[in-house]
Amino acid sequence: MGAATQTKPRRRSMGKLWRRRIGLGLTYLTLATLSVIFLIPLLWLFTSSLMPLSQIGKWPPQWIPNPVQWGNYTKALKFWHFGRSFRNTTIITVFSMIGELTSCTLVAYGFARLRFPGRDTLFIVLLSTMMLPFAVRMVPMYIGFSKLGWINTFLPLIVPTFFGNPFYVFLLRQFFLTIPDELVDAARIDGASEFNIWARIILPLSGPAIIVVAIFSFQAAWNDFIGPLLYLNDERLHTLALGLYTFTAMPGQGSLYNQLMAASVLMVLPMLIVFAIFQRYFVQGVTLSGLKG
């Protein structure tokens, strides 16, 4: 009787263990399948950049280039000032990241740690600006920048980033609220100014959230097409997005899909490298900053 009563809980625990393992196995299998599905377009982009033009339109699709044509990259670069466009895009991206990281962390610190009348109302107003699409602001901003004489310069693409981004402010504020109040109060008792608290306590403890904002800012500036299309009429100032569009508009180039895919790989590659390097911090920052469901 005693042995029978002991085996029943053991069987129940073993059953729960196996159900849990089967559930985890199905979860991992589903995630792996979805990952492969999402990677198929990227795989096709890379393989088609190495194919002869005759192999791209085949059905069923041919996934392995035969022969491999690395010359597609050199041919694509001949019709596209890649080095100049890469330099312009890098300048805009770097200064945009500096502007957004500086302004958004300062504004987020104010909303998270400073107490002043109307703080919550101002924060709601700030978040409400996210509902204004760029198409609504496009014409007034162009008129304003043209009166300032900033057309055909990088200033319209860089200067607004030093005035903050509502989404990044929200993300950083949510993270700053998770930092213990005791650390900030102790610094104030020791006589630290708000700027020193922001620079020496908040920022060092907010690495994951700052990396998330940096990745978002990098991606937005690197892929931006509408902004450069509006403000940069001089071909010497074109970014990679405009250069890729110009490549497709060249006579006879739009149908050369293998060279077009090669140019696209060159544009996408820096973003993939950045995300691969900071992926761990990106996931951690999103998890801890209030974006989870």
What is residue 95's predicted lDDT score, i.e. its pLDDT? 96
Same domain assignment for residues 146 and 266: yes
Among the residue ranges 61-70, 94-103, 115-124, 263-272, the one predicted with the least confidence is: 61-70
Q: Please give the pLDDT value at position 244.
A: 82
* Co-location of 40 and 98 in the same domain: no
CA dihedral 234, 238, 242, 244 (to 10 degrees): 120
Asked whether residue 38 falls in the same domain as residue 104, the answer is no
Q: Which amino acid is at 12?
A: R
Task: Provide the number of structural domains found in the chain.
Answer: 2
- Whole-structure pTM value: 0.80
Whether residue 14 is contained in a domain is answered as yes
Mean pLDDT of 140-159: 93
Average of pLDDT values for 248-273? 76
Same domain, 216 and 263: yes
Which residue, chain included where needed, has tokens 């002869």? 52
- Domain assignment of residue 15, given as a range: 2-48
251 and 146 share a domain? yes
| Domain identity same for 34 and 177 | no
- Find which of 52-61, 173-182, 273-282 is predicted with most confidence, using mean pLDDT: 173-182
The yes-or-no verdict on residue 86 having pLDDT over 80 is yes
Does a structural domain hold residue 55? no
Spatial distance between the Cα atoms of 259 and 193, rounded to a whole number of angstroms = 56
Q: Does residue 33 sit in the same domain as residue 144?
A: no
pLDDT band at 287 (very low <50, low <70, confident <90, very high): low
Q: Which residues of 179-217 are buried (b: 16+ CB within 10 A; e: fewer)?
A: eeeeebeebeeeebebeebbeebbbebbebbbbbbbbbb
Nearest residue to 58 (alpha-carbon basis) of 268, 265, 259, 257: 257
On average, the pLDDT of the chain sits at 84
Buried b (16+ CB within 10 A) or exposed e, 16-37: eeeeeeeeeeeeeeeeeeeeee
Residue 13 sits in the same domain as residue 150: no
Q: Are the C-beta atoms of residues 263 and 249 closer than 8 Å to each other?
A: no
In which band, very low, low, confident or very high, does the pLDDT at 290 lie, cut at 50, 70 and 90?
A: very low
pLDDT of residue 7: 61
Task: Note whether residue 150 is domain-resident.
Answer: yes
Neighbouring C-beta atoms of residue 283, cutoff 10 Å: 12
- Determine what percent of the chain is predicted with pLDDT higher than 70: 88
Asked if residue 265 is part of any domain, the answer here is yes
Cβ(104)–Cβ(198) below 8 Å: no
What gap in Å lies between CA 216 and CA 214, rounded to an integer? 6
**What is the reported pLDDT for 231?**
93
Q: Is the pLDDT of residue 288 over 60?
A: no
pLDDT tens profile 29-40: 998 888 888 888
Structural domain includes residue 34: yes
In a shared domain, residues 43 and 82: no
Q: Is the pLDDT of residue 269 over 60?
A: yes
Q: Is residue 37 part of a domain?
A: yes
Residue 172 within a domain: yes
Q: Would residue 59 count as lying in a domain? A: no
My answer on whether 26 and 82 are in the same domain is: no
Convert the pLDDT of each residue in 55-78 to its tens digit. Answer: 777 777 777 887 888 888 888 777
Whole-number pLDDT of residue 292: 41
Asked whether residue 126 falls in the same domain as residue 40, the answer is no
Calculate mean pLDDT across residues 85-113: 93
- CATH of residue 179: 1.10.3720.10
Other beta carbons less than 10 A from residue 155's beta carbon: 15
pLDDT at 253: 52
Q: Identify whether residues 244 and 174 lie together within a single domain.
A: yes
